[in-house]
Amino acid sequence: MVAMEERGYRFRFYPTPAQSDLLTRTFGCVRLVYNLGLQARREAWEQRQKTLGYGASSGLLTSWKKTVEYGFLNEVSSLPLRQALRHLATAYQRFFAGKCRYPRFKSRKKSRRSAEFTASAFTYRPGELRLAKLMDAPLDVVWSRPLPEGVVPSTVTVSQDRASRWFVSLRCKAPAATAPAVGEMVGIDAGLNRLLTFSTGEPVENPRQERRERTRLARAQRELARKEKGSRNREKARVRVARVHVRVADRRRDMWHQVTTRLVRENQVLVIEDLAVRNMLKNHRLARAISDASWGLFRTLLEYKATEYGRTLIAVPRWYPSSRLCSHCGVRAEKMDLSVREWTCTGCDSRHDRDVNAARNILAAGLAVTACGADVGPQRGTTSRAGDRR
């Protein structure tokens, strides 16, 4: 029997003016219903020490629709509104479980513009998607890849990003991905001069996506600063700034997807460093370059793809002195400045490329942990200090 798993498929689409208008109003109604539900729950507890569940909140939605003040809620599909109340109930459950903080009201300017349609609120056929209240014409979706044969979405989420681009996400149960086992192993060292260096000696150059768009971004931000607050021209300028940001983010995500997919397809064991990126961003000289490298996104993608492909991913502790250990004899060098890219081992006179040597040590440390649970501290030499990792 083929194993099934929850998967999401995201596509861009281009709505007609009528579809755009209705979906925009749906976003506003979803946000309003969420805020009304949150306010009702707060008042019920503060005034009567009672809790409102999803059932009671759903009943309130029906009464809100009958009022003059909120009668416009009848103009959009009711299913996304009820989903907003379900999301609120989930937020409370997660709060009481200690997994997140207390739910907050959604802001019109800052909250994500999205609406979730359940199975009875959309019609899907391969290559065609219609939503409730918009059944007269299908959405103009760019089907960049087909859904697995026989798969039907359970929910459809429509969203709009800060750059005014429209997306539709289809959640469905699809066959779990499988991949044949391979015998290769690789250690991966992250850096800034080279984005990644593999234990095989192969580098991945740093494209510096944000630096490439820095001039265009500065120009767009200056234009935004000159616009009057609250004006239509300011909103147009804000969208132009957002488009520069999403262009950088899209290029960066596409590059990391290509790199991580190749890694998990070609290697059975992958060993990386457990980098504390948030702490590294406190270095104000390197914070911008570290943010542009987006090592956190790399690890996130690599982790879920390794699980999907049945690969083994090992994270070596961040204080392991991978750059200063000789990968040939294990002798540990003295403290080494980041500007030193090559060095010679005093124990065996081997000449090392700093990044390649670090990647080989990372691989060896990861394999030692896997094989026998060995400690990944330095084999020889002086004791490592916390600040001397590199």
Active site residues: 189, 273, 355
* Residue 213 bridge partners (DSSP): none
* Measured distance CA(306)–CA(337) in Å, rounded: 33
Start-to-end CA distance of the chain, whole Å, equals: 49
Separation in Å, CA 339 to CA 8, 95, 199, 317, 354: 43, 47, 21, 23, 10
CA–CA separation, 390 and 100 (whole Å): 35
Residue type, 156: V
Residue 43 tokens read as 């008042």
- Reading the block at residue 78, the tokens are 């009711």
Residue 130 to residue 380: CA distance in whole angstroms: 66
For residues 330 and 311, what is the distance between their CA atoms, to the nearest angstrom? 28
Of 263, 269, 360, 268, the closest CA to residue 314 belongs to: 269
Alpha-carbon span 185 to 321, nearest angstrom: 20
Question: Which whole-number Å values give the CA distances from 361 to 56, 75, 148, 368, 376, in the listed order?
Answer: 59, 63, 41, 10, 10
- Distance between CA 92 and CA 252 in Å, rounded? 35
CA distance 183 to 176: 22
Tokens linked to 106 = 């959604």
